[in-house]
Structure 1
Amino acid sequence: MYIGSKDFFGLVHYIVGAVNLNLRRQPTYLTFSLANGRFTIESDADLRVEQYDDGTLSPFESLPKQKSEYWIDADYDGTVLNAFSASLSVEASSLQRQWAIEYHKGCRESLHIQEADATTKPYSRISFVPDPAIFKVKAFSPYNFHSYLKRLSFLNPDVRFGVTIDGRKEEYHFANGIRDMFECVSSPYQLLHEPIHFRVTEDNVDIELIFAFQSWKGDVCWSFINKGRAVEGGTHETGLAAGLEAIRAKLDMGGDGVMYDRNNGIVGIMSLSYADITWSGCIKAKIKNPELEPLVERLVTRESSKWIEEHPQVAAEIKEIGTFTFPEAAEL
């Protein structure tokens, strides 16, 4: 299975899958809690629970029979969650039905279905305990989950998150999305101009990018794909790097067509959405789609250039950065 291990990061992938099962159905709120070893996630997501002619239930026992707008990674997340849980309880309002399902070690123990009227709003409550016969992890810090949900709140600005672990309750919501994230992560740096910020959708790719030149050497860029991380990078990141290099060349920051000596790096964040992701490896660590590299490079170069052309004062300020040099130290 795709969680990759029985150790800490395998447990993390297992829990992330449970969160994604809700997030990929576009809720407006999501609450996450942990008490006495049991995780509980509540949201107003429509889990699209369905029972097929053979009696199996999607998304916890089988995948959808036909691909549709709902046939997404979250369907795999449901079956993985069930397979690796010592116990799993599901309450859901979906498709004008109310579902109550209990599982023990991947096997269904009970199922109750009640008809609901058309005014019943979507709702889901998933409560689960990781199977101790599978996972070796005995202890983990609650800060893992607070940090994870806080990061998700930047990447999902339309969702309000609540987290309660060991009596510590926090709420996270950042309406400006990665712009708010950029304000946080760029704080240690001295930004040298107004950040370049755009969002574009083309060829089934949605890219939002915000970046600025800063006073430290070296580029520091964070990238997210489909609201998550590819921890080993991939073609989307090589495309981003190539696009930023093209912008450097276009700005002629060294003057007279000579590239400057990189006294100033870039700090930035990219969030990319793409339905046809191909992962390298079983734990979704690296993106290998060959088409993404030239596509991301082209969009980053074009849209950044467009933004700069619409902000001539910023363009002039950026070009001045490349003309600065430290004076030679006086000889003693």
Structure 2
Amino acid sequence: MTEDANRYDASQIQVLEGWEAIRKRPGMYIGSTGERGLRHLVFEVADRAVNEVLAGHAGFVDITLTPDGGVCVADDGPGVPISEAGGAGSTGLEAMLTRMQTGAGTGGRNDVTLGFCGVGPFVVNALSRRMMAEVRRDGVCWVQEYARGVAVTPLTEAGPATGSGTTIVFWPDSDIFGTAEFSFDGLAERFRELALLNRGLEISLTDQRQPVESRSVRFQFPGGARDFVAFLDAQAVAPAPTDTIGFEREDPRMAGTMEVAFRWSGSREELVRSFANSWPTAGGTHVVGFRDGVAAAVTAYARERRLLTATDPDLSTDQIGEGLTAVVSVKVDDPEFHGAIRNVLGNATVRACVGQAVQEHLGRWLEEHPEHAVAVLDRIVQAARRN
């Protein structure tokens, strides 16, 4: 091997920054260059608008899949600031669309991250052949155009504005995504989920790609987690023997709130959906606490009613799940997730707080609904004895 072939010095190191790095390795930022990645583009742009609504600064978020392959995300908030941001000589709008974000929103229990890792709309801009931004603020409408992460026009005053808000329209770059297309159902699933977990949130999703078959859905659920359980059980064949049991509680010990809803259906399957700060989780301390609380309440009631004998062991968390449909949602100020994909919550205090709240609430419900309680307990006890 020649000396030149063995040589390795600083001149051979390629440094990519900003939009170049994103376009070189898009999967690092949005997960894939297929349909899943396209979906995350929408989430990264909608992130800010959703948090404006949850903070009480806006009333709605509208997402439209346009006939020419673009996506329009609009809200009626105060409008992204157009003044200089951070002394860098760029406006707040340019900073948002040309600089990497460290996370969406302001942080805290009510902050929502929709996208892959909350990197912000700069990633979307870098992966779009074109992006148009419109800001309606203080009675003036401002517009600016971008291409592949770079501003191609200055921020321009386009005339008077009616109302306020921000509209971002982007067209994904086919050089990156090829022929991949947005999935209406995939987007609807996540936006429905967010609306179910956040009662004050109103989101509409419209598909105009095929005008003859245009469709639109609006998501807003005043029942919160109770509505979520009803949605999950909507396809159940057998009727539910119990009404939905649900409650909300704030607990300063966990520096957050919990919303729990559940019921036993006629099915033999268990379906438990869990979330931390509106992010879907595969498990964690909130789920363990929920199971602890249900098992403790059911065991105590079964012993009081002599459905368990003195020699029978306590019912375990594995034995109370047959036919159980549940939604367990916690929102904490400082969530501790296991792993980069944030699918397991690790806050230790959450387990005890959720467990105690579920035990108390379910215990009262069992006392107040003896006929339903006996039906549920008899089923659980008989299943435990069979196993």
- TM value normalised by structure 2: 0.69
Q: 1:85 aligns with which of 111, 121, 128?
A: 128
Give 5+ residue unaligned stretches, structure 1.
327-332
Q: 2:367 aligns with which of 312, 317, 332?
A: 312
1:267: Cα distance to partner?
A: 0.9
- Tell me which residue corresponds to 1:255: 308
- Tell me which residue corresponds to 1:245: 295
2:213 maps to 1:170: no
- Tell me which residue corresponds to 1:323: 378
- Tell me which residue corresponds to 1:222: 273
2:174 maps to 1:132: yes
**Inter-CA distance 147–68: structure 2 relative to 1 (3 Å threshold):** closer
2:93 maps to 1:51: no
In the alignment, is the contact (CA less than 8 A) between 1:186 and 1:267 conserved in 2?
Answer: yes
**Inter-CA distance 240–313: structure 2 relative to 1 (3 Å threshold):** closer
Q: Count matched residues.
A: 320
Q: 2:73 aligns with which of 41, 55, 61?
A: 41
- Tell me which residue corresponds to 2:248: 199
**Inter-CA distance 122–263: structure 2 relative to 1 (3 Å threshold):** closer
- Which region of structure 1 is more displaced relative to structure 2, 26-35 or 219-228? 219-228
Q: Deviations over 1:169-210 (max 9, x none)?
A: 333332222222222222315322232211112233221111
Q: Supply the distance in 2 between the matched residues of 1:51 and 1:76 (Cα, whole angstroms).
A: 21
- Which region of structure 1 is more displaced relative to structure 2, 297-306 or 158-167? 297-306
Q: Residue 73 of structure 2 aligns to a residue in which SS?
A: strand
- Tell me which residue corresponds to 1:61: 98
In the alignment, is the contact (CA less than 8 A) between 2:76 and 2:165 conserved in 1?
Answer: yes
1:73: Cα distance to partner?
A: 7.0
Letter in 2 for 1:252: A
**Inter-CA distance 145–321: structure 2 relative to 1 (3 Å threshold):** closer
2:157 maps to 1:106: no
In the alignment, is the contact (CA less than 8 A) between 2:34 and 2:180 conserved in 1?
Answer: no
Identity %: 18
Letter in 2 for 1:225: A
1:308: Cα distance to partner?
A: 3.4
1:286: Cα distance to partner?
A: 1.5
More helix by share: 2
Letter in 2 for 1:240: F
1:270: Cα distance to partner?
A: 2.0
More strand by share: 1
- TM value normalised by structure 1: 0.79
Q: Residue 217 of structure 1 aligns to a residue in which SS?
A: coil
Q: Residue 41 of structure 2 aligns to a residue in which SS?
A: helix
**Inter-CA distance 279–134: structure 2 relative to 1 (3 Å threshold):** farther
- Which region of structure 1 is more displaced relative to structure 2, 269-278 or 24-33? 269-278
Q: Supply the distance in 2 between the matched residues of 1:173 and 1:216 (Cα, whole angstroms).
A: 28
**Inter-CA distance 164–245: structure 2 relative to 1 (3 Å threshold):** same
In the alignment, is the contact (CA less than 8 A) between 1:22 and 1:47 conserved in 2?
Answer: no
Q: Deviations over 1:296-323 (max 9, x none)?
A: 4422432541453266222663245323
**Inter-CA distance 205–95: structure 2 relative to 1 (3 Å threshold):** farther
Runs of 4+ with >6 A deviation: 70-75
**Inter-CA distance 81–219: structure 2 relative to 1 (3 Å threshold):** same
Larger Rg: 2
2:328 maps to 1:270: yes
Q: Deviations over 1:195-226 (max 9, x none)?
A: 22111122332211111223333431112333
Q: Deviations over 1:105-158 (max 9, x none)?
A: 1111223265999x9854111101122233355234433233433333323332
In the alignment, is the contact (CA less than 8 A) between 1:233 and 1:285 conserved in 2?
Answer: no
**Inter-CA distance 274–88: structure 2 relative to 1 (3 Å threshold):** farther
Q: Residue 278 of structure 2 aligns to a residue in which SS?
A: coil
Q: Supply the distance in 1 between the matched residues of 2:135 and 2:338 (Cα, whole angstroms).
A: 34
- Tell me which residue corresponds to 2:37: 10
What is the Cα-based RMSD across aligned positions, in Å? Answer: 3.6
**Inter-CA distance 73–131: structure 2 relative to 1 (3 Å threshold):** farther
